[in-house]
Amino acid sequence: MATGSAGFKVMRSIRLFAVCFLVGMFATTGRGQNNTSNSSVPPVVNVGALFTFNSTIGRAATLAIEFAVEDVNKDASVLSGTKLNVIKQDTNCSGFLGTIEALQLMEKDVVAIIGPQSSGIGHVISHVVNELHVPLLSFAATDPTLSSLEYPYFIRTIHSDYFQMNAIADIVQYYGWRKVTAIFVDDDYGRGGISALGDALASRRAEISYKAAFPPDADINMISDLLVKVNLMESRVFIVHVNPDSGLTVFSIAKKMGMMNSGYVWIATDWLAAILDSTKPVDPNTMSLIQGVVVLHQHTADSDLKTRFISRWNNKIKSSSTSSSLNTYGMYAYDSVWLVAHAIDQFLRQGGEIVFSKDSRLHDANGSTLHLAALKGFGGGDQLLEQLLLANFTGLAGHIQFDSDRNLIHPAYDIINIGGTGSRLIGYWSNYSHLSVVAPEILYGKPPNISTSSQQLYSVIWPGETAMKPRGWVFPNNGKPLRIGVPNKVSFKQFVSNNSGADNVSGYCIDVFNNAINLLPYPVPCSFILIGDGWTNPNYDELVNMVAQNYLDATVGDIAIVRNRTRIVDFTQPYAESGLVIVAPVKKMNSSAWAFLKPFTIEMWCVTGALFLFVGAVVWILEHRMNQDFRGSPRQQLVTICWGKHCEHPWTVRADHLAVCCTNYQLKLHCEPNINPHSSTAFLRDRRA
Ligand SMILES: *C1O[C@H](CO)[C@@H](O)[C@H](O)[C@H]1NC(C)=O
Ligand SMILES: *[C@@H]1O[C@H](CO)[C@@H](O)[C@H](O)[C@H]1NC(C)=O
Ligand SMILES: *[C@@H]1O[C@H](CO)[C@@H](O)[C@H](O)[C@H]1NC(C)=O
Ligand SMILES: *[C@@H]1O[C@H](CO)[C@@H](O)[C@H](O)[C@H]1NC(C)=O
Ligand SMILES: *[C@@H]1O[C@H](CO)[C@@H](O)[C@H](O)[C@H]1NC(C)=O
Ligand SMILES: *[C@@H]1O[C@H](CO)[C@@H](O)[C@H](O)[C@H]1NC(C)=O
Ligand SMILES: *[C@@H]1O[C@H](CO)[C@@H](O)[C@H](O)[C@H]1NC(C)=O
Ligand SMILES: *[C@@H]1O[C@H](CO)[C@@H](O)[C@H](O)[C@H]1NC(C)=O
Ligand SMILES: *[C@@H]1O[C@H](CO)[C@@H](O)[C@H](O)[C@H]1NC(C)=O
Ligand SMILES: *[C@@H]1O[C@H](CO)[C@@H](O)[C@H](O)[C@H]1NC(C)=O
Ligand SMILES: *[C@@H]1O[C@H](CO)[C@@H](O)[C@H](O)[C@H]1NC(C)=O
Ligand SMILES: *[C@@H]1O[C@H](CO)[C@@H](O)[C@H](O)[C@H]1NC(C)=O
């Protein structure tokens, strides 16, 4: 049964329980059909439209759909001979009503439904349309979990929040934040979007550290309680993904709580852009709430069509006071009508017939008063769906075409920074090249470049009128300063000493500590607590124990790092290095003139002397037969052995001696008898020359 698992999804919404039962009844595999109509070119084609009229999105959609129907019926090339008739139903922001009204539309021979606006209703009636083969074209249900695999008759004519959340994750990554807090409305739209955000952040090694969800009908107290909780958390990057119709409440409460000041980062999804687009000029009170917020806005390419449409829209709303300004949802609603018109046109051209059949299993025989038998399936649903997915035309919001995953091609967002009474475009995000300051239409002509170095945004003025990028988080012990124990010493006050009050300590240790704290990229509030009575030095083991027992968060002082202390607390690197020291008893030594002999023992000196004579003897043996210098009386020869050749300048003689030993007779330092020692030059001469 197709709805076995799908029924489970519906159960998410308790309010829709009754509907869930009803949907279960449609679920069958085979259907008994009865053709009721068989005319090849019908004079009228009915299309349903399902949204909340009195909502930010709905007000724009109402007029956009009205314009679109007018244009389609005027255009002779599309649906010639057939009138497109849109039957609108108001879901009034209610999942229950929305579902009932969707069922009512099915009784009215609609070939497709434009809507629903709400992702929650989208989930429920997707089951119904799957059975009745009526395609749903939602221009506002952005929940990424409304996937085409589970709901083949659901087509999203707007970009899925999957892309928007990837855009936010790229912004978070661009600014180097690691943790964000998500504030969202706890319905299918909110949960689906935030779950996509979690996935997108995870792939960029960031995370949602806290998910703050509030129910769709939350009152001011609930939201302020939630923001109080959020404010105690570590992250200062808030992603707000709520409904346009209640979203500004979050900001007005945040502003009251001082959460729109410097240090905070607020990123809003396109709901805020829809509000700003819809109310022009924007109320200055609203603008004052959202200073410094970064907003995503569905990117729509500029075109003549768009320009003409906007001026037509503005002319229209001048004459009728109730309508809103055009927002992107209105553009997508307009394009959805055209999409349906093109598809029906193709469907009829290919010989398709608009035939409705009753589901034989929906008889009211067993006493039900729900008139379920009135629900009719569209016989040509498959072919129409096929035509819808083959769409290829340029609409108001850009090129309308679906990729193999049934997503609209070229998802892109404008990134806007609110400041003063207006907003500033700081860049674009596109699925193609991610963050960039160049419009996506230009980028599509170039090879995609998503390298980190190519990501670029213009500077942002953050909340609190600062251009400096907020750090994005605070010390988690928010508000409570760290308790730092300081020994109240009597001796060695240079290390630590109390000045006059308990909070005023000074000394070398405190200076080191303060400098280290200042090097941290975030402020850490500390309070110093003096330990000890000031009459005797405190017991440092007790001081260390206080940290271990969590009475203190840390302690600062001239505390020695010893083994049993390291077992219970962590120490910093020592700032006064004593090194590894071995203490040994000192032997008294009497100093004398012979102290210079101390380095070597007597035996060592003897060996050194013997070697001296031995080398001389070896040299004499080798030399005396051929070298004149080694001849003469025995006394002369003895001097030569011990001292080298007798010469006026003793240095040159020694050099001679060494040269002979080392260079195997090749070179000889020649001794000049009459040289002046200050300008002496030694000649190197090849002996054999
Ligand atoms: C439907 O149209 C076909 C021709 O296209 C015709 O043969 C058939 O009789 C029609 N059926 C009804 C019920 O009108
Ligand atoms: C279609 O319905 C009519 C009565 O409305 C009935 O006579 C006919 O047999 C049905 N045809 C089929 C194929 O069920
Ligand atoms: C319904 O009409 C279509 C053509 O319009 C035809 O192919 C189909 O067999 C008919 N179904 C029944 C049950 O008569
Ligand atoms: C639309 O809703 C607002 C509150 O959301 C309400 O004040 C207003 O009266 C409603 N307008 C209509 C026409 O129902
Ligand atoms: C929409 O719902 C609200 C309460 O949720 C109700 O006050 C209002 O009358 C409803 N509007 C319509 C047109 O049903
Ligand atoms: C109505 O009830 C009878 C017996 O209670 C059952 O056989 C029949 O299938 C039911 N019909 C429908 C449409 O549920
Ligand atoms: C879409 O239409 C354009 C011309 O308008 C054509 O060049 C392009 O190939 C079409 N794309 C597809 C996928 O059919
Ligand atoms: C988005 O980009 C990814 C990878 O770059 C690509 O696989 C996907 O098809 C794109 N989606 C759309 C809708 O363009
Ligand atoms: C992407 O952009 C960066 C910086 O603009 C550039 O250095 C790099 O070569 C580009 N890569 C490609 C593939 O174009
Ligand atoms: C701080 O030291 C001063 C003397 O320098 C002493 O009078 C005072 O009582 C000490 N304060 C504390 C809290 O021990
Ligand atoms: C701490 O004491 C010094 C002088 O001993 C004084 O200049 C300084 O203002 C004091 N600081 C605080 C915070 O009391
Ligand atoms: C560390 O050892 C000393 C002496 O052995 C002892 O007095 C002290 O209590 C011990 N300290 C800790 C924290 O165990």
**580-612 burial by CB neighbour count: b if 16+ within 10 A, else e?**
eeeeeeeeeeeeeeeeeeeeeeeeeeeeeeeee
What pLDDT does residue 109 have?
87
Contacts of 246 (CB under 8 A, 6+ apart): 185, 216, 218
Residue nearest to atom 8 of ligand 3 (CA): 35
* Residues 643, 630: Cα–Cα separation, whole Å: 11
SS3 of residue 637 by DSSP: helix
* 166 C-alpha to ligand 5 centroid (Å): 36
How many helices and strands in the chain, by DSSP H and E? Answer: 21, 24
pLDDT digits (tens, 9 = 90+) for 621-632: 888 778 777 777
Q: Are 384 and 415 in contact (CB under 8 A)?
A: no
Q: Are 490 and 497 in contact (CB under 8 A)?
A: no
Q: Are 565 and 572 in contact (CB under 8 A)?
A: no
Residue nearest to atom 1 of ligand 11 (CA): 504
Is any ligand 10 atom within 6 A of the Cβ of residue 488? yes
- Residue appearing with tokens 């005797």: 536
User: Is pLDDT above 60 for 502?
Assistant: no
What is the end-to-end Cα distance of the chain in Å, rounded?
113
Q: Are 155 and 358 in contact (CB under 8 A)?
A: no
* Residues 165, 269: Cα–Cα separation, whole Å: 8
Atom of ligand 10 nearest to the CA of 534: 14
Q: What is the pTM of this model?
A: 0.67
pLDDT level of residue 36 (50, 70, 90 thresholds): very low
pLDDT digits (tens, 9 = 90+) for 327-338: 999 999 999 999
Percent above pLDDT 90 for the chain: 44
Both tokens of 30, joined, read: 């085979």
What's the mean pLDDT in 464-484? 80
Alpha helix positions (H), 350-413: 381-389
What pLDDT does residue 520 have?
74
pLDDT digits (tens, 9 = 90+) for 233-277: 888 999 999 999 889 999 999 999 889 988 899 999 999 999 999
Closest-lying ligand to the alpha carbon of 566? Answer: 12
SS3 of residue 304 by DSSP: helix
Nearest by Cα to 685 from 671, 641, 658, 648: 671
Contacts of 219 (CB under 8 A, 6+ apart): none
* Residues 640, 659: Cα–Cα separation, whole Å: 15
* Residues 437, 458: Cα–Cα separation, whole Å: 7
Given ligand 10 and candidates 500, 510, 529, 531, which is best to mutate, with the most ligand atoms within 8 Å of its CB? 500
